[in-house]
Copies of this chain bind each other. A is one copy, B any other.
Amino acid sequence: MEKLCLGIDLGGTGVKIAIVDKKGNIVEHSSFPTACPADPKKIAETIAANCRKLKHFKKIRSIGIGVAGDIDQEKGIVRFSPNLGWKNVPLRDMLSKKLRKHINIDNDANVAALGAFWLDSKGKAKNLLCVTLGTGVGGGIVINGEIYRGSTGSAGEIGHVTIEPNGPRCNCGNHGCIERYVGAPYLSNYGREAVRKGNGKIIAKLAKGNIDNITPALLAEAARKGDKEAKEIWNKAGERLGILFADLINLCNPEMIVLSGGVSCSADLMMKSMNKTIFSRAYQTPARACRIIVSHYTHKLGVVGAALLAK
């Protein structure tokens, strides 16, 4: 019998469920939206019901779930999830009672890193970092094919590495975290500032007179249409990611850095300044040895990584 695993990706906007084979190929999947703040009991019931509906459900060997938030992997508890509005929810046991299977739980950035290891590196990059560029900047570390969690399960907070110690305050309390510069809302703000100053004509035109319409996707479109200000925003973002990656390369010497998340779609606009910065700052041998790629599986990383947690 084929070995199948079930993965659940529980985020602030929706739940993805998938049954995958041992190589991470999705065999069957479903999804439903999350209404936030979400009642834990209801969410667990809906997840369980949706899992049982899958026609391969009886064939699965293990279940894994990735949750946006601070997770106690050992106790199976969602310690804190601002997106879901949860504190200390024993989600693993709630679900395993309903599904009568052993369940592994981890945070969304960690399972995404595991997904990137199996999907993007095909299980080959022994040491890999996954950086999710979205509203926030998430991070996960894979060492020897396994998630590296550190001593309290919170390792991999790549988004809160300091890029500029006297920089603006980040939501986490630190100053000048990379997230504070390349997180989607901050990128959008740079675009708004440019328009307010009367620059960024193409940005303004695409925003149709309302700067609230400015998003990273709009800034990417503007840059591709030749807008100087938009190009500069992406250049600067690439430079800052380059500072971060030079540090990560000197420190972790990874074989691969995988970029995922919405903002990673614009990685081509950042690559030049990013690589220039990395090679001017990092040691050359590890810099040359590190492949930086954009994930081909951004929307699947979480659910596939979750499914393969038990592997």
For residue A254, CB closer than 8 A to chain B, the reply is yes
Check if B156 sits within 8 Å of A251, measured CB to CB. Answer: yes
> Which residues of chain B come closer than 8 Å to A255, judged between CB atoms?
151
Least Cβ–Cβ distance between A79 and chain B, in angstroms: 8
CA distance A160 to B285 in the complex (A): 14
Check if A162 sits within 8 Å of B253, measured CB to CB. Answer: no
Least Cβ–Cβ distance between A89 and chain B, in angstroms: 17
Check if B251 sits within 8 Å of A151, measured CB to CB. Answer: no
Contacts A173-B281, A280-B173, A283-B172; is A250 near B151 (CB within 8 Å)?
Answer: no
Check if A151 sits within 8 Å of B281, measured CB to CB. Answer: no
Checking B154, B162, B250 against A281 with a beta-carbon cut-off of 8 angstroms, the contacting residue is B162
CA distance A172 to B172 in the complex (A): 31
For residue A149, CB closer than 8 A to chain B, the reply is yes
Check if B252 sits within 8 Å of A285, measured CB to CB. Answer: no
Count of chain A residues with Cβ under 8 Å from any Cβ of B?
A: 45
For residue A232, CB closer than 8 A to chain B, the reply is no
Residue of B nearest to A291 (CB): B151
CA distance A223 to B164 in the complex (A): 29
Contacts A165-B163, A281-B173, A281-B174; is A151 near B243 (CB within 8 Å)?
Answer: no
Question: 1/0 per position for A70-85, CB-CB distance to B under 8 A?
Answer: 1000000000000000
> Which residues of chain B come closer than 8 Å to A286, judged between CB atoms?
150-152, 154-155
Check if A251 sits within 8 Å of B158, measured CB to CB. Answer: yes
Check if B251 sits within 8 Å of A161, measured CB to CB. Answer: yes
> Which residues of chain B come closer than 8 Å to A282, judged between CB atoms?
174
For residue A22, CB closer than 8 A to chain B, the reply is no
> Which residues of chain B come closer than 8 Å to A60, judged between CB atoms?
none
CA distance A44 to B255 in the complex (A): 33
Interface residues of A in 102-116 (CB under 8 A from B): none
| Max count, chain B CB within 10 A of own CB: residue among A141, A175, A285 | A285
CA distance A140 to B141 in the complex (A): 17
Check if B156 sits within 8 Å of A127, measured CB to CB. Answer: no
Q: What would be 27 A-B contacts, judged by CB atoms less than 8 Å apart? A: A139-B251, A143-B143, A150-B254, A150-B286, A151-B255, A152-B289, A154-B250, A154-B253, A154-B283, A155-B251, A155-B252, A155-B253, A156-B251, A157-B250, A157-B251, A157-B283, A160-B283, A161-B247, A162-B163, A162-B243, A162-B246, A162-B247, A162-B281, A174-B246, A174-B280, A247-B247, A251-B251
Interface residues of A (CB under 8 A from B): 70, 126-127, 139, 141, 143, 148-158, 160-165, 172-175, 243, 246-248, 250-255, 280-283, 285-286, 289-290
New contact pairs (18) apart from A143-B148, A157-B251, A162-B163, CB-CB < 8 Å: A126-B151, A141-B251, A143-B143, A149-B253, A150-B252, A150-B254, A150-B286, A151-B286, A154-B250, A155-B251, A156-B251, A157-B283, A158-B251, A161-B250, A161-B251, A162-B246, A165-B243, A248-B251
Q: Give the 3 A-B CB pairs with smallest separation, nearest first.
A: A150-B253, A155-B253, A157-B250
